[in-house]
Structure 1
Amino acid sequence: MVTTAGTRRLTERGAKTRARIVAAAADLMYVKGVGDTTLDDVLAASGVSKSQLYHHFNGKEALVRAVIEHMGEFVINRERDALGRVSTIRGLRRWRDALVQANALRHGAYGCAIGSLASEVSDHDDVARAALSRLFLEWQGLLAAVLQRMQDAGTLPPEASVDQLATGLMAALQGGYLLAQTAHDVAPMATSIDMALAHIESLSAG
């Protein structure tokens, strides 16, 4: 038996069906947007029946919340792997390069997976907004941890606020994603992050 984020306990087969529905919905909502993705779209993409979908989700709102959990887990795990051992400005620049290059493969078309969700659902679903807020705070915390390691190593001066710098870097990243999405060009994203990193580097105690 598998326990989902709610109270329902699923068989292994049921868990696989649910995961297939969520994965299909996540792909569709990332490309088409939440508003333009219908449950019929999800049924067609996942290959499940309507009764199976409604067995796991009582409507689109519940499915969107599951997509947020799914995409959030993917993004945070990726960022944890990328940032977990970074302790230098050079390491942050490698992190920047990886994100920009990955977005360049899509010509900046879709933006940040969780940022795009936030722009669509935050105003009308407080549960989803709170979940997204926690994800952004966790991501920002990973950046703050990098900056703290730099400060501990003497790269950043002790008076520098790692939390404020992490907030600025996250804002530059998300703003860069949005600019890349609207322009279908990753150049604004690269510039935005570069400016934030240049500011952090300018504070170097060395």
Structure 2
Amino acid sequence: MSQLSAYQSGLKEHNLAYELLKRKLRTSIVRQIIKILRPKDLRYIYYSIHKERPISGVIPSVEAIAQTRESFLYMALFASIYRSASRVDIKTNMDINAIVFAWDYFCNMFPGHIRERRPYGRIRPANFDEAWVITHAMKAGSADLQYCSGCRRNYFIIYCTNYPPICQICAMKNGGVRKGRPN
């Protein structure tokens, strides 16, 4: 029985690794989650799926993702989908299945927007790495999803950034605050 459960556990981890790599999550992030596969194995799986090498370099920070006020709207939408899909408290844990669901749902809402390579558009997260970074920032407390009593919608805030923690929808309706400064 224990051999069967160990086999099932390993199979679940392999399946999860496949699902994450299929969405082009960086192998360095997948390695933090999947302990049974070596980095070399993860790179091989990534190459087998996409016929290209995994993306290397520094993982983006949540502060670097938001480039325009409009990008906050899409980030709030993604974060709202994630929060609704999650079965755990997103401020203390990450729900990997909810991240995958939220990303797939977000991509279905905006078909053709995904741009894995720069230059990214205004629709953010632009790739699964950015979606992962947003959810991780919410867990770490460097970003949050708030409710606006004015327009009755969720808005996304990032602490320690040039953007003031205000509702982006209300700011854009009232003549806008762009790049964190009044017009």
**Which bin holds the TM-score, normalised by the shorter protein?**
under 0.3
Which has more helix, going by share of residues?
1
Normalized against structure 1, the TM-score is what?
A: 0.25
Normalized against structure 2, the TM-score is what?
A: 0.27
Which has more strand, going by share of residues?
2
Structure number, greater radius of gyration:
1
